[in-house]
Structures are given as structure tokens and as C-alpha cells.
Amino acid sequence: MAEFDLVVRRARCATAADVFDADIGIRDGVIVALGSALAAGKEEIDAAGRWVLPGGIDGHCHLDQPTSDGSVMADDFLTGTRSAACGGTTTIFPFACQQKGQSLRAAVDDYHQRAEGKACIDYAFHLIVTDATPEVLANELPALIREGYTSFKIYMTYDDLKLSDREIIDVLAVAREYGAMVMVHAENADCIAWLTERLLAHGHTAPRYHAEARPMLVEREATHRAIAYAELVDVPILIVHVSGREAIEQLSWAHSHGLRIYAETCPQYLFLTADDLGINDGDHHGAKCICSPPPRDKANQQVVWDGLENGAFQIFSSDHAPFTFDGPQGKFAAGSEASFERIPNGIPGLETRLALLFSHGVETGRLTMQQFVALTATNVARMYGLYPRKGSIAVGADADLVIWETGLDRRIRNSDLHHGVDYTPYEGIPVTAWPALTLSRGEVVWRDGDYVGSAGRGEFLHCALPEPARPKPRPSVGDAW
Ligand code: URP
Ligand code: ZN
Ligand code: ZN
């Protein structure tokens, strides 16, 4: 009888720490051996010296998330996970979003139903806490953390999502007490409201004004405030979708003061600029790139690249938030002439995240292969409590693996993608690498251009308490609260 279900032979493996050549022996969906000349498997795949990396973990995506403005997300758990698998991602973290007035438990139950029978790769949930009632703080959050929902996002902007400063502090205190990771969307809501009002009063309604309503200073200020609250409560936090220099300076400030502030950035801050929101007032196509924070300029792109290289960022996520350009439920759900503040925020990116960073980060020499693996898989697993089951190539880890094709000469085309969106903001960008094969727990889900997964095979993952969320020991202050 064969010793392994599957052996991936002659793999050039990379982890966040090492590069090594090995055969990878897989049984029951788990890596059970790494070595040379392993015994035969029931099936064999010859990687022939190609890069074999841990499957990507996308720590930030929105699927089938209810909205409050009449728009409907273009990806559910089937199309979203299919698209992810075709781009080399094997685990995703979408959000179970609490509506104001709703219990967190109801949001989680609803979200499980949305995923049920659809996901083709594994998934866990971040919570979004929008209503920090005494019941949520004292009972619901602690209970859900204990059940494996160990990370949650809070918003400093958007009327239907944002928390007051006092509520933010209360949520951080719960995270500290129970060991959860808090992700912060840092933009100053009042500054945005004030700027938006003035822009609209002057007739500036086109998509491009979205970027003017959310300049870098509103992100810088909110980032600083979030860091201050994390310092006050003495708890690590993770700032999501950081867009440029002024926010990164706040991260550096925090690090120089010994604070554990983690950060995520996304492809839109490397590959798009505010000009992609439109140059002319009549350019409605700019709506395709409306997301928050908005893309900045070329100089900021370079600073974000520098941050990926020098460790300012721990994770690289898509922030996939899919809305069609055409159609009554997409970007113009509020009407074809909707002003910028009525256009749903978010862009697709689940499938293109890895190939963009591999091609423009690793293949250009900006990032090492180990950095790529850390940013796109290992650190994500660590930040959100899935390590070491996910995010590495190691005995005992799930056999979530990607064999990469390199040296390609192709461009990103929406017609090649598998999401439910009718465009990609990255149309035409060249890529030199793309996954040739994606394995999810030892099963092939993407091979040579064909999706071969199946709906419902993806498993829900309960997350452990993330080690990086643990507060530093406080030698002198003492645990006064
Ligand atoms: O514009 C964005 N990023 N939309 C998705 C929701 C969020 O804030 O991440
Ligand atoms: Zn956000
Ligand atoms: Zn998001």
C-alpha cells in the first residue's frame, strides 16, 4: 500500500524562514513528510524544481456582506473562494458584520448560513463590531472569542459602522482581557464629512473627489488616535489597509516607542493612484477604483513598497470588496449620476493579490521569497490564530500548497478571472508569475488554468488566541485593571 495519498516531488520550497528542496508527502490532507526520495504516493505530482509555496491566506476580504445602501456584493462564498483558489489562495478571512441593533451572535449565525455548502477553500471569520453594547462587551464578545472568533475589526468612519472613541477604548479593553486581535479601519469620520459637504456644495460630485474627501491627513490622524488608544489600554492592534507615508510614519513612531502595532497593506496602494479614480469630472469609470482609504500617488506607492521591504507591514491582503461596475446593484446602485459619497467603497482583488506581489515584488528583487511567504501566508496565520496549521510547509501543517509558474509574459485580464465582478482595477498590468496548481488540504482545486474544486468542500476554521495579540508584560505599571 502506498505510504502517501500524494507526493509532490522535486519541490523548491520556501517558508517564511527557509528555502529548501524536498519531496512533500501528504496523507489525509496533511503534510506528513518532507525529505528526498520519499516512498511512492497513490498520486504523484512532479514540481520539477518549481517554487512550491504555502497557499496564500487572505486576511481581509468581504464576501456576501450585507450593505445598507442598496448595493449587493458581487461575490458570495462560492465565486469568492473559487476566485481565491484560482489565484493561489487557500484560506480566507471574510467578515461577519454586526448591523447596529443586531446581536453579534446573530451576525455570526447569518454569516455561517451564507457560507454553508458554498466555500471551496477553508475560511475563518473576523467579526465586525459596530454596536458595542454592554451585552456585546460583557458577554457576546468574550463567548465568541472563546469559540474561535479571535479577531475583530472596528471602524473609525462610515456612519453605519463606526464606533465612538469611548466605544473603541471599551472594545480594546475586551480584546486585551480575552486575548483577541483588533483590526482598525483608521480614517477620521468628521473630517471626511466636513470635506464631503464642501465638495458637494461646490458641485464636485464625480468619483475622483472621493480621494479629495479622504486625504492622507484623515488617515494619519485616525492612525495616531488608534495607536494612542492601544497604548492607553496596553493592547496590540493591527491597522488595516494602510495607504501611504503619513500613516506609515505613525507606525514607525509607535514602534520607536516600543508599542506593538501591526499593519496591513493591499495591492491598491502599490498599483493604483488617485488618478485611477478619474482625471475628468465626467469620468464615471473612476468608480471602479473607489475604495477607502483611497489610492494615493506614485511617491506614496514607493513608500508602501519600502514598508513591505523593511518590515513596517506584517501582512498583505486584498481587501476584496466586490461590486459590479454595470448593473443595478453595483457601483451605481444609487443611480447612474450618483455622487461619489453614494458609490459603494471597495474593489475586487482576491485572485490577483499573490501574482501581483510575486511578479512585482519577488521577481523584481524587491522582496525575498521568504518575505513574500511571510506577508501573504505565515504572518497572516500568526496574526489571526491559525498558525501552525496554516501558513507554512511543515510536517503536521495542512497540505495547502501552490506550485508557481514563473517567467510568464502575460497581463491581468478580467476575462481570465473567476470572480463575480465585471472588471478588475488591475486590467492590463503585466505579471510574470501565476499559480499553475493549487492544493487545498491535499486536493487539487486549480490546475493549469482550470478550476477543479467543488462547492462546500471548504471547512470553517476556529481560530486560536493569536500570540501577537498578547500584551507585553508590564514590569512597573502592574495590572491595575
Ligand atoms: O473601500 C473599502 N476598503 N471597502 C471595504 C470595506 C473596508 O473598509 O475595508
Ligand atoms: Zn476598512
Ligand atoms: Zn475591507
Convert the pLDDT of each residue in 199-240 to its tens digit.
999 999 999 999 999 999 999 999 999 999 999 999 999 999
CA–CA separation, 81 and 89 (whole Å): 8
CA–CA separation, 33 and 394 (whole Å): 8
Structural domain contains residue 285: yes
User: What pLDDT score does 472 carry?
Assistant: 79
CA of 346 to the centre of ligand 2 (A): 9
Structural domain contains residue 34: no
State residue 321 phi and psi, 5-degree precision. Answer: -140, 95
CA of 166 to the centre of ligand 1 (A): 23
CA–CA separation, 174 and 266 (whole Å): 28
CB of 291 within 6 A of ligand 1: the answer is yes
User: What pLDDT score does 475 carry?
Assistant: 55
Residues in the chain: 481
User: What pLDDT score does 344 carry?
Assistant: 98
Structural domain contains residue 157: yes
Ligand 1 pocket test: pick from 345, 347, 353, 421 the residue with the most ligand atoms within 8 Å of its Cβ. 345
* % of the chain surpassing 90 pLDDT: 97
Ligand 1 pocket test: pick from 64, 241, 331, 341 the residue with the most ligand atoms within 8 Å of its Cβ. 241
Structural domain contains residue 223: yes
CA–CA separation, 356 and 351 (whole Å): 10
Structural domain contains residue 393: no
User: What pLDDT score does 1 carry?
Assistant: 75
Q: Which comes out higher in pLDDT, residue 438 or 475? A: 438
C-alpha cell of residue 348: 475586487
CA–CA separation, 394 and 472 (whole Å): 28
Q: Is the pLDDT of residue 478 over 50?
A: no
Structural domain contains residue 455: no
User: What pLDDT score does 460 carry?
Assistant: 98
Ligand nearest to the CA of 294: 1
Q: Which residues contact 250 (CB under 8 A, 6 or more apart)?
A: 220, 223, 224, 227
CB atoms within 10 A of CB 301: 19
Which residues on neighbouring strands pair with residue 51, listed in sequence order? 12
Atom of ligand 1 nearest to the CA of 345: 1
| Inter-residue contact 67 to 77 (CB < 8 Å) | no
| Inter-residue contact 316 to 357 (CB < 8 Å) | yes
Q: Quickly state the pLDDT bin for 480 (edges 50, 70, 90).
A: low
| Interval 2-47: pLDDT, tens | 899 999 999 999 999 999 999 999 999 999 999 999 999 999 999 9
CA–CA separation, 118 and 402 (whole Å): 22
CA of 392 to the centre of ligand 2 (A): 27
Ligand 1 pocket test: pick from 68, 93, 291 the residue with the most ligand atoms within 8 Å of its Cβ. 291
C-alpha cell of residue 299: 511617491
CB of 292 within 6 A of ligand 1: the answer is yes
Nearest CA owner, ligand 1 atom 2: 346
CA–CA separation, 268 and 287 (whole Å): 14
Provide mean pLDDT across the span 292-309.
98
CB of 90 within 6 A of ligand 1: the answer is no
C-alpha cell of residue 228: 494612542
CA–CA separation, 464 and 443 (whole Å): 25
Q: Quickly state the pLDDT bin for 189 (edges 50, 70, 90).
A: very high
Number of domains within the chain = 1
CA of 97 to the centre of ligand 3 (A): 11
Ligand 1 pocket test: pick from 319, 331, 341, 347 the residue with the most ligand atoms within 8 Å of its Cβ. 319
CB of 62 within 6 A of ligand 1: the answer is yes
Structural domain contains residue 382: no
C-alpha cell of residue 66: 450585507
CA–CA separation, 11 and 225 (whole Å): 46
Atom of ligand 1 nearest to the CA of 290: 1
Of 372, 313, 399, nearest in space to 121 by CA: 399
Nearest CA owner, ligand 1 atom 1: 291
CB of 393 within 6 A of ligand 1: the answer is no
| Interval 313-359: pLDDT, tens | 999 999 999 999 999 999 999 999 999 999 999 999 999 999 999 99
CA–CA separation, 302 and 270 (whole Å): 7
CA–CA separation, 123 and 80 (whole Å): 11
C-alpha cell of residue 212: 479629495
The mean predicted confidence, pLDDT, of the chain is 97
Residue 320's domain is classified under what CATH number?
A: 3.20.20.140
C-alpha cell of residue 346: 471597495
Domain limits for position 182: 56-371
CA of 93 to the centre of ligand 1 (A): 14
Q: Which residue has the cell 498578547?
A: 470
Amino acid residing at 216:
M
| Inter-residue contact 267 to 318 (CB < 8 Å) | yes
Structural domain contains residue 42: no
CA of 291 to the centre of ligand 3 (A): 9
Q: Which comes out higher in pLDDT, residue 478 or 14? A: 14
Provide mean pLDDT across the span 280-289.
95
| Interval 251-280: pLDDT, tens | 999 999 999 999 999 999 999 999 999 999
State residue 173 phi and psi, 5-degree precision. Answer: -65, -40
